[in-house]
Structure 1
Amino acid sequence: MTETFPEREFTAEQIDAGRRAYELDRAHVFHSWSAQEPLDPMTVLDAEGSWIWDGEGNRLLDLTSQLIYTNAGHQHPKIVQAVKDQAEALCTVAPQHVNDARSEAARLITELLPADINHVFFTGGGADANEHAVRMARLHTGRRKVFSAYRSYHGGSQLAVNITGDPRRIPNDDDAGVVHFLPAYHYRSYFGPQDESWSEKEEGERALQHLRDMVVLEGPGQVAAIILEAIPGTAGIYLPPEGYMQGIRELCDEFGIVLIMDEVMAGFGRSGMWFAHQHFDVEPDIVTFAKGVNSGYVPMGGVAMDDAIYGTFAQQVYPGGLTYSGHPLAAAAAVAGINAMKDEQMVENALRLGAEVVAPRLEEIKDKHPSVGDVRGVGLFWAVELVRDQTTREPLAPYGQTAPVMNQMVAEAKRRGVLPFMNMNRFHICPPLSVTAEELEFGLDVLDEVLTLADESVADG
């Protein structure tokens, strides 16, 4: 590594404290989405910018932004200071009372959205933001059904996990009025051949016709909302074909359906725009967010609604609420985070680095490695999809499973100083938006090196 990358020295006492934390974790902490006993979680001792240090003091470039939320980077001094200042002024207050941090956060967020989105209901995170968005849509329309795509993720709470369209839903399945439809996913099309003869235009047209048919068959007068990730994140960072999002907007307008855009992962600059739906020139009725609004420094999510949705509850009571709605510490972090991202042009940095560094380098990697089937993304939101055969596009492991070589590549990447984001048969490239070109190039170099393990696995059959 070059001398420009940050350094840390840890005392024996700090290392021992990390080891003690690990012991207590394994003795007492129950982890998400995991079988508990085989789990070997990594301890994190420190973090700065695009870097973290593990329990033994090893420095790792964080290509995960944790769960893709530290958009402003780790330990940003302005956000840290804002939380400290807010704690000294007013640590907490019940949500029925005004606090200035929440008011300013709401103003800043709505300024980034369409002109008729002027109100925000704050939540504790993304899952409950999506739950409340669906509740609002149902009450607004007087309808029950909600449409959501397969290959999507909307949260782990009961309704949110049922809206989700990936395998984590299945053990929790309770239809909850949810109807799943097949998404427009050009590389793995459900509507045409999975080869170069199938155009993105055809994919978009067939996917839209499929969705229209589903709405008609389910009864348009029963459909309250269509919820979509503007760019699906955990499900594979696959961008919609040109015209697809506009077609969904027109479908919603035709049948009086609320369009909910889930920007929990893609929002707040991740895609090189403040919100990913802005790439597609559509205006949703509701936008949900979390994660990147304050880089996850204090838990926060929210539902930003247009004036029509707000009007439903102008005189009618909204039957929902949260104790920590607009918590002052979270709101202060959001204000500082949004302002820091503006002042330091992080959104512009994401768009530029995506186009100038990530896109060309991933194309080189794809051409070099027979295990790489597809690379796709925008901003600092990219996926590298691994296959057994580039022609047939057979994934490295069946859908919902992970090939052992993926874990081997993660271990090797960490040994070389990079923490990658792995999901099923993909690596996601999602560093903080403050990352430098030099840091990004280092991370991509390591990815290039460890992909030889996947190539060998493919060659061995």
Structure 2
Amino acid sequence: MTNGTAEQTGKAAELKEQLADVFAYTNKVLDMISKKDITKEEAAWITKETVDNFREHVNPGFLAYRKSVTKDGQFAAVEWKDSGLNCFMDVHGKEYIDCLGGFGIYNVGHGHPKVKQAVIDQMNRQALHSQDLLDPLRAILAKILADVTPGALKYAFFANSGTETVEAALKLAKMYSSRTTFIATTRAFHGKSLGSLSGTAKGVFRKPFLPMIPGFKHVHFGDLDMMRKTMEACAMTGEDVAGVIVEPIQGEGGVILPPDGYLKGLRQLCDEFGALLIFDEVQTGMGRTGKLFCCEHYDVVPDILCLAKAFGGGIMPAGAVVATEEVFKSFFPNPFMHTTTFGGNPLACAAAIATFNVLIEENLPARAAELGDYMLKGLREAAADHGDLVLEIRGLGLLIGIEFHTDEIGYEVSKGLFDNGVLVAGTLINAKTIRIEPPLTITYEQADRVIAEFKKVLGQIQL
């Protein structure tokens, strides 16, 4: 046997042994996944594997960032299973009221039985489609969207995430008018792929990847005069605006509500300058703010509407961009101008169809309005004696922001709530603000506990 052959034989044996180890490892993990309950020893093994593998194979930065992990890594709250519609448990069996809601994906709750069953039923029939034949659930879901969205919004393209829906919206706007200028707003968050990141406003996310997609400008959110002047300047320089993209309420920016008349003013400006109005309702849609879509509060209809997060019912990743026929017809001659392998797959469509069914059956948008008013009142009363800590509590429906005087106070409150079984988190653009964004199915008893824990934690903060 030559040295080369011996070396090849040795490598093959090494690979065989490595694959055997991976096979045994996957069997152990699959066995744990299949269990309803796990032992203390298994919980300890899962915790160690999670922390070690995040450090060595995912990103060690998450261990420093997550408030659920101690500094030395000896303890970590590793999420393991749902616990009713509004809570989850870690591997140690501790239950948390979810007031982060997966950054807004659990509008109908954790593992809603109807949504879960729709996905199971579709999985048993066909999980994915061949891509070539017409798939029925995509067509049915598109009709549902045309029926429930406001105004003349009619045609839908399906994606897997909010970022992808924004990308599709930008391409639609470019094809519609051949214009290349877009205006977004300060504190905006539209995603982190290069196109959507061009609309996102936070410098720390943008600087390492500059230059962005050409043609994006940012103006102050809520400033109609600045928007008008920017659109006028663009028209005067031959850089006419293709579209204005905006969140009706800025989620990651710190739950910033628009000034009175702002969104209607944007609609009028877009009409005047021949630009499209794009609403990013990835976080504000699907009943979150007290109506099915946030724009309904302001009686404004966009030309393009982006949806995701809760669109998949907390079961499947799913998103949609919905546009008027006038805008969407740019895609008619060649429907392959913008495509996706997994967007609009049968499992995602089944989840979204069931989600609309649940939102309507359980009247969850109205419940969000009712519980939102209740929680806003309670949180404000809890903070009444802590003006040195809390700057403002604001929101609409069950999208609530609590802004503190410093980032450090916000972190301490978040950590204190977490230690007491309530999960919240800061926003990506405005770190001084934490979100209260529970499932729309949260009970009054759970809301009362959140308010009580908030009041208790505020009383323990030492400046």
TM range (shorter): 0.7 to 0.9
Unmatched runs of 5 consecutive residues or more in structure 1 = 1-7, 185-206, 388-395, 397-401
Q: Which of the two has greater helix per residue? A: 2
Shift of the 45–304 alpha-carbon distance from structure 1 to 2, 3 Å rule, reads same
Find the counterpart in structure 1 of residue 260 from structure 2: 242
Q: Distance between the aligned counterparts of 1:156 and 1:429, measured in 2?
A: 23
Tell me the secondary structure at the aligned position of residue 337 of structure 2.
Answer: coil
1:172 aligned partner: 209
Amino acid at match of 1:212: R
Q: Does 1:414 align with 2:418?
A: yes
**Given the alignment, which residue of 413, 428, 434 partners 2:441?**
434
Counterpart amino acid of 1:163?
A: G
Partner AA of 2:219 in structure 1:
F
Q: For 2:368 and 2:38, how far apart are their aligned partners in 1?
A: 32
2:195 to 137, 159, 178: 159
Deviations 1:306-347 (A, max 9, x none): 111122233355521111120111111111111112111111
Shift in Å, 1:230: 1.3
Answer whether contact 2:151 2:301 (CA < 8 A) is retained.
no
Q: What is the one-letter code of the residue matched to 2:422?
A: V
Q: 1:21 to 1:80 in 2, by over 3 A?
A: farther
User: 2:109 aligns to what?
Assistant: 73
**How far apart, in 1, do the equivalents of 2:418 and 2:329 lie?**
51
Residue type at the aligned position of 1:437: Y
Q: Aligned to 1:219, what secondary structure does the other structure show? A: helix
CA distance in 1, matches of 2:146, 2:321: 11
Q: Contact 2:247–2:281 at 8 Å: present in 1 too?
A: yes
Hey, which bits of structure 1, 4+ residues long, moved more than 4 A? none
2:50 alignment partner in structure 1: 22
Structure 1 residue matching 2:175: 3-state secondary structure: helix
Letter in 2 for 1:281: D
Residue type at the aligned position of 2:343: S
* % identical aligned pairs: 28
The letter for the 1-side match of 2:456 is E
**Does residue 365 of structure 1 match 2:382?**
yes
Partner of 1:381: 399
> Is 2:342 the counterpart of 1:324?
yes
RMSD between superposed Cα atoms in Å: 2.0
Give me the whole-angstrom Cα distance separating, in 2, the residues matched to 1:409 and 1:9: 31
Match for residue 55 of structure 1? 91
What is the number of residues matched between the two proteins?
410
Task: Output the amino acid matched with 2:81.
Answer: D
Partner of 1:46: 81
Given that residues 307 and 320 in structure 2 are in contact (C-alpha distance below 8 angstroms), is that contact kept between their aligned partners in structure 1? Answer: yes
Question: CA-to-partner distance for each residue in 1:110-150, whole Å, 9 max, x for gaps?
Answer: 21112421111001110011011001101101100110001
Amino acid aligned to 1:180: H
In 1, Cα distance between equivalents of 2:98 and 2:246? 27
Per mean C-alpha deviation after superposition, the further-off stretch among 14-23 and 234-243 is 14-23
* Structure 1 residues 306 and 17: CA distance shift in structure 2, 3 A: farther
Deviation at 1:14, TM superposition (A): 4.9
Larger Rg: 2
How many angstroms apart in 1 are the aligned matches of 2:401 and 2:414?
15
**1:75 CA displacement:** 1.3
Native 8 Å contact 2:103 2:437 kept in 1 = no
Measured after TM superposition, the shift of residue 156 of structure 1 is: 1.3
Please give the secondary structure, in 1, of the residue aligned with 2:314.
Answer: coil
2:458 aligned partner: 451
Q: Distance in 2 between matches of 1:178 and 1:300?
A: 26
TM-score of the aligned structures, taking structure 1 as reference length: 0.84
Kept in 1, the 8 Å contact 2:379–2:454? The answer is no
40-49 or 325-334, larger mean C-alpha shift: 40-49
User: SS in structure 2 opposite 1:367?
Assistant: coil
Q: Find the aligned partners of 1:257 and 1:90 in 2 and give their Cα distance.
A: 41
Distance 1:363 1:110, change over 3 A: same
Distance 2:358 2:63 in 1: 41
Letter in 1 for 2:278: I
* Separation in 2, partners of 1:268, 1:55: 31
In the superposition, the TM-score normalised over structure 2's length comes to 0.84
Q: Which runs of 5+ in 2 are unaligned?
A: 1-35, 70-75
- Inter-partner Cα distance in structure 2 for 1:99 and 1:27: 42
- What is the SS of the residue equivalent to 2:417? helix
1:183 and 2:221 correspond: yes
Matched to 1:172, the amino acid is F
Please say if 1:82 is aligned against 2:118.
yes
Q: What secondary structure is seen at the aligned counterpart in 1 of 2:321? A: strand
